[in-house]
Amino acid sequence: MLNYRHLYYFWVASKEGGIARAAERLDMAVQTVSTQIRELERALGHALFKPSGRSVELTTAGVAARRLADQIFQLGEQLPVAVREAADAQGVRLSVGISDGLPKPVVRHLLQPAIDTPGLHLHCDDGEFDDLLADLALHRLDVVLADRPAPLNPNLKVYSHAVGEAALAWYAPAALAARAGGAFPACLAEMPLLLPTRHSAVRSRIDDWFDRKGLRPRIAGEFEDSALLATFGGSGLGAFPATEWSHDELTGHRSLVLIGRCTEVVEHFYAISAERKVQHPLVQKVLAGHA
């Protein structure tokens, strides 16, 4: 078993830039700190420090050990808070990362299997996909919801689970739709369009669909945030695509009309976990609800 006390002394020494400074910070004898770091090196089978003038610097092995020690002790700093929150909570906490641009009705649909859990404490963070994956790998999140699977990366131990797909449909304010003649989808060429940016996984499928239909879109705006796209669409700036899971909100709350369904373009959704075999009971419910 790894001796975490020895690892901690190494970590402090690597941050302080030397064993003497680490001993001063730890209020310990230099010899004691030095001896325990050597014990760690013997256990790992590699030197972690090498002489550098009057000081020391990390070896290649030391750099790798420092990188993982950062993660270990960052998690350790979170432990008291996590324990306190768990003790104070009356139910189960679910921390979800939501990839930027993921439509909110889609998020609600994907999380629905867990929503009725008694005592649920749901915590949601929007953010950049790569940043969320990093937080997931550090166990700051229980699951990440996204419109794409995690990229293959041997240094990033995360696992993608397909949780659904939904075809797109096109929506616009009634006045804008009424001014466009012709049948769908040809009518799209007669009105300004709002699209997700090319950062979105579905954008390339929309562009391919335009090409197959021989349509030359007149793009009036591109948005990373789907809620912002729908807001500008509702204001009359242009027609826009959305998943059919958003239909009730768009035609009800936003008073938009359906122009036509685009079953050839499908958006795929994934729940990404830090475990191949998911242990969190609410993440299990989410996966089972969309199996």
Average per-residue pLDDT for the chain: 90
In this prediction, residue 154 carries a pLDDT of: 72
Report CA dihedral (140, 284, 145, 207) to the nearest 10 degrees: 160
H/E element, 75: helix 60-88
Q: Specify the range with the lowest mean pLDDT, choosing from 71-85, 109-123, 159-173, 220-234.
A: 71-85
pLDDT tens digit sequence for 133-155: 999 988 889 999 999 999 887 77
Domains of the chain as residue ranges with CATH: 4-65 (1.10.10.10), 87-164+270-289 (3.40.190.10), 165-267 (3.40.190.10)
**By C-alpha distance, which of 278, 269, 30, 244 is closest to 139?**
278
In this prediction, residue 46 carries a pLDDT of: 94
Partner residues linked to 121 by β-bridges: 93
H/E element, 56: strand 55-58
In this prediction, residue 182 carries a pLDDT of: 80
Q: Check pLDDT > 80 for residue 126.
A: yes
pLDDT tens digit sequence for 18-32: 899 999 999 999 999
pTM of model > 0.75: no
Q: Check pLDDT > 80 for residue 111.
A: yes
pLDDT tens digit sequence for 56-92: 899 999 999 999 999 898 888 888 877 776 666 556 8
In this prediction, residue 88 carries a pLDDT of: 65
86 C-beta neighbours (distance < 10 Å), count: 11
Amino acid, res. 279? Q
